[in-house]
Chain A
């Protein structure tokens, strides 16, 4: 809201400099977005207190009453404890010295004037005032044009300028119709009929729907109520008689219509936030006085004021104790009264004898934001000064509950992953549908109804598409070795919102060093990460070969715990990598673990330590030749089932294929560790266990011991 300071000074004699006013008001609830000095080459200092400026106040959505000069003047008057000057019927047209013009015209309220006004929907239009004036259309005077321009409004003609002037000064949107273009000299405020349309002032033809309120003449809509006038009844150069409209429309109705038509105007913004139901006739008197003052025309002296749904001012109770109770500091009665009365509230001692500590406060109708006691307390606090509040602490009155385990878990995983060399990424919760599709089952994608762009069209079914984009971003910036992870929500139609840990790894597993030993990441590096994460989550996991469209076949696996799939791991399919802008020859390994599934599978009880072994262990190595398709898991299962409980560890320490090993066979070497908790094992015991194992391996897998 751009406010010209000299205009504001018409209503309050504030002598502070523009900068000082800006500073003061910004801690009274009106943030200042700019303060532009006027007055040619004179510096602000040279102009001093008389400096004129345009101050751009940010008016919050709850304060439509301040979207005008008088509204801001009232706030300034309260802030500086100054009296307000009022618009009066006997005022001067224009004070040559101060430039102020505070005159209202005297209009006589009549039932029917030259124009007939009928409100068909009093709920949508509680009040409508119409007045007729004879005019000569031309440009408005320079002073008026200058004020409009300073406020950011383009001068159009004396008639339109007067309505805009009133809007800017008083906050009352007005409209002028060409009287001769209204059929049967009639104003009907009604909802639109099916199939009706109107060409608005901006030249667009707009289809109307029956929930929209319009201003119509005897035949057709001539304006969209509270939003925009119609082109057909527009005031033009040849216009000689006008009908001025000054009304109060239902905020919700205007808001819905404006949204539906995607048409926001200075009028609609004020009406939808809430105009002042008391103001229409005063604004009409002001407009007529201005028409007269600038020689644009003369009102016929009557006004038709239809007010079928009277809006009475609210009264609220304000309790002294509640002020201190909410603010933490008592405010002296004198300050409470001074502030509220200056803002236009009236205070009376509360009539009930059981509560002498209260006031009965009448709220001016323009203050649509004040409907409860706390709103009054805010008014007091605002002008008493937030800077006078004490700094205190809320008492601790209950034991704080434990940390949300999900936060604790994420912290834990964060340290596990960073220790594994992965940096944490933060990617968006939505991705492009094409990027998401491979990661979601049929019909599982969750589309956003109003996405910003195609890139943000669906909720992510996995954190991987975003993570792969992040890898690609780094790859394009000369970063060959990238390890990233993310912990966050993912979404699907069937399972809803769930949390996952996703990671991606490309480049080296062991970074380049003068001592050698560098190599690229492979499947088992990523599996190692998954195993580490599982340990951190206290889960026993197995991996099973698994096909996934977005992973390289034969290099992808399910991560299983207790028969439940909690995640996937593997090498990213080159086609997917390429779609994300990664070079096809780059191997990218990825994994994702569902943290909600993992949590469900994790043991609930604390880990407990076991006593350390008291007797020595015995290790035995065994090398076998088996089919290359035989999985390590199958071999382990056989070994375990053949061994007694003294077998405590199985470790694959070599796997060889090539010279000396028959085609399609592998040589697998296992190191088995035996130990008993109650005795030292004898050679014979271990040998017997080994014999059983070898026999079983031969029996089940045709394994040949080497």
Chain B
């Protein structure tokens, strides 16, 4: 008895050793044949010796052999399944190869930032509209408290047209507007403030608008200047609008764009606002302690603003005794450069795809 039971154990050991070495389906087949083949399998062989045993030992031995048989079958099945799972299925591909690139262009960074600004103000209930790029002297200068020969005109070196042309239109979404088209444009607008005048001449207060668009100055293109740039003009007019409202509004805009920053207003001069203020925000790079980005002042200049000058209200027929308002003009280039770390304004107008494609889709 004992010799036979030993041979069952030996057979199990032999199988396990061989199973460990089996690496292919063929190895498993051979193993199956060696141990379980109906004709020549070792386990089958053991089973055949059953008849030679005395009747009282048969039952116990039979159970031992059957257990071994089941064990071997299970082990072979498991190993087969394991081998199968590592095998390359038919039609398999190298999933690590690059995919076919779906073409996708980029929105220009200036337009990304412009859109951000538009959205910020849209959420605050502002109307967003565009105006013509060629303008006349009245809307670009005179009505903005810059009569002919006003020294402030020098601040904005203007590009003039040889001869007047018909300008663009505006305000199609507001129904029929009597002066929706510039009749005789003589210059390239130096700021989108020209639309302040067109708008106020057409619509009564309250006013709550921003006007994004391209503006032009007689500047050469270099690292910090461009003869064309993008501006967003904001204008709010109503009863009881204050300089504090301007501060709160610009604070909201600046925070939405640059995170947790503070702003400060500095007195300045623009002919069309009084009081006028330059607006700085605390340097986000150093938190206001002073670094190279903010030229060690802790502040970064952002925009010009102020309370609408009563002379401007008079030019458009608003009662300056009744209404007050604020206006601001912010350069999109500057915000874009600050936001994305663009070192030169020139880069924004070269349209180098290697530059454009650095902006996320």
Q: Which residues of A contact B (CB under 8 A)?
A: 26-29, 31, 60-63, 252, 255-256, 272-273, 325-329, 369, 372, 374-375, 377-378, 381-382, 386-387, 389-398, 400-407, 411, 414, 417-430, 446-453, 456, 459, 470, 473-474, 477, 479, 482-485, 488-489, 491-493, 495-499, 511, 513-515, 596
Contact = CB atoms under 8 A, between A and B. Distances in A.
A397 B325 CA distance: 14
A29 B97 CA distance: 62
B195 to A, nearest CB: 11
B126 interface: yes
Interface residues of B, number: 100
B353 interface: yes
B266 A31 contact: yes
B162 A488 contact: no
B268 to A, nearest CB: 6
A29 B214 contact: no
A497 B106 contact: no
Q: Which 5 A-B pairs have the closest CB atoms?
A: A421-B103, A328-B244, A328-B242, A496-B166, A60-B269
Given A407-B128, A428-B349, A382 B172 contact: no
Given A402-B173, A406-B172, A497-B133, A392 B244 contact: yes
B111 A61 contact: no
B267 A449 contact: no
Given A327-B243, A393-B245, A418 B106 contact: yes
Interface string B101-124: 101111110110001001000101
A447 B354 contact: no
B129 A325 contact: no
Contacts of A498: 168
B100 A515 contact: yes
A449 B161 contact: yes
B111 A414 contact: yes
Contacts of A451: 159
Contacts of A427: 349, 351
Contacts of B351: 423, 425-427, 470, 473-474, 484
Contact of A392 (B160, B245, B274, B353): B245
Contact of B238 (A394, A473, A488, A489): A394
A424 B108 contact: yes
B34 interface: no
B107 A497 contact: no
Interface in B117-164: 118, 122, 124-130, 132-134, 149, 151-152, 154-155, 159-163
A429 B214 contact: yes
B162 A497 contact: no
B216 A378 contact: no
A425 B108 contact: yes
Contact of B274 (A375, A387, A483): A375
Given A375-B274, A407-B129, A479-B353, 6 more contacts: A403-B127, A423-B351, A448-B188, A450-B159, A497-B166, A513-B101
B267 A28 contact: yes
A367 to B, nearest CB: 13
B259 interface: no
B182 A497 contact: yes
B172 A405 contact: yes
Interface in B199-250: 206, 208, 212, 214, 216, 218-220, 227-228, 236, 238, 240-245, 247-249
A653 B327 CA distance: 59
Among B162, B206, B240, B361, the one with the most A-chain Cβ atoms within 10 Å of its Cβ is: B162
B105 A424 contact: yes
B105 A326 contact: no
B199 to A, nearest CB: 11
Contact of B248 (A392, A398, A400, A426): A392
B248 A391 contact: yes
9 contacts: A374-B274, A382-B275, A404-B170, A418-B104, A426-B110, A430-B228, A449-B162, A491-B165, A496-B168
Contact of B356 (A398, A424, A456): A424
B5 to A, nearest CB: 62
A381 B244 contact: no
Nearest to A397: B206
B161 A448 contact: yes
Contacts of B154: 61
Contacts of A474: 351-353
A273 B208 contact: no
A392 B97 contact: no
A406 B126 CA distance: 16
B242 A401 contact: no
